[in-house]
């Protein structure tokens, strides 16, 4: 588990140093996986129609409901490695 956490932290740091900015769909996946890995299932209220970015982020995170923290960390690490 300590290795997974260290790998996850390294992936978070690497996500800020990607050579190219990922497309919006990939950025939303990164966001959702990060939130699921660090917080767990989304329990926040869905943003209103006026907040399109907030809604997209909420949907990305909420779509991962039920995914365990370890699984989300592994998926996050794999995704960042594939983009590096």
> Is the pLDDT at 2 greater than 80, yes or no?
no
Delimit the domains of the chain by residue range. 2-83
Q: Coil, strand, or helix at residue 48?
A: coil
1: pLDDT strictly greater than 70: no
What does the pLDDT read at residue 84?
A: 86
Report whether pLDDT(23) > 80: yes
| Per-residue buried b or exposed e for 57-67, using 16+ beta carbons within 10 Å of the residue's own CB | bbebbbebeeb
69 alpha-carbon distance from chain centroid = 11
**CA–CA–CA angle 1, 75, 6 (5° rounding):** 35
Average pLDDT, whole number, for the chain? 95
Q: Report which of 70, 73, 42 is spatially closest to residue 57, judged by C-alpha positions.
A: 42
Reported as a single tens digit per residue, the pLDDT across 52-75 is 999 999 999 999 999 999 999 999
CATH architecture group of domain 2-83: Up-down Bundle (1.20)
């Amino acid at each position: 588990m300590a290795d997974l956490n260290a790998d996850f932290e390294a992936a978070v740091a690497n996500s800020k140093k990607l050579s190219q900015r990922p497309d919006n769909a990939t950025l939303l996946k990164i966001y959702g996986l990060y939130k699921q890995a660090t917080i767990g299932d989304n329990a926040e209220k869905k943003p209103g129609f006026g907040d399109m970015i907030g809604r997209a982020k909420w949907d990305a995170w909420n779509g991962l409901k039920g995914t365990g923290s370890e699984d989300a960390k592994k998926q996050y690490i794999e995704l960042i490695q594939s983009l590096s």
